[in-house]
Amino acid sequence: MATNDTNDMQRMQQDAIRRVREMQNRAQQSLSRSQQGASPEPQKPEPEPQPQRHHDSSPAKGAPPALPLPQPSTLSNLFDGLLQDGERTLILILLLILVSEKADTGLIFALMYLII
């Protein structure tokens, strides 16, 4: 019985680590796209995507569809808001370091909770 609990815990931790890595990859891709610079043509606002309803409760096998990137001004406002609070900024930097060092996921989630 204890081995089942241990196996379940390890499986959940590995799944959480996989999801964190996927989020990091998406964030890195988004950052690299935004750093490449905007096109000289003015961007037309894209219509909002229609919400998709999933009737299947099992997880999708492919990667989830990418969300549209926020406008650069919105993104800079978000970063300005996050970086104004010194304590929150310190926790964010600590989170980045811990994630890159592949630290304990429990600690990472606890720090994420503090940011909320």
CA angle 20, 26, 30 (to 5 degrees): 145
Prediction pTM value: 0.32
Beta strands (DSSP E) in 1-116 are none
Q: What is the pLDDT, as a whole number, of residue 111?
A: 85
78, 84 in Cβ contact below 8 A? no
Q: Please give the distance of CA 75 from its chain centroid, rounded to a whole number.
A: 14
Q: What is the pLDDT, as a whole number, of residue 44?
A: 53
Q: Which residues of the chain, if any, have pLDDT below 50?
A: 38-40, 42, 51, 53-60
Q: What is the pLDDT, as a whole number, of residue 50?
A: 53
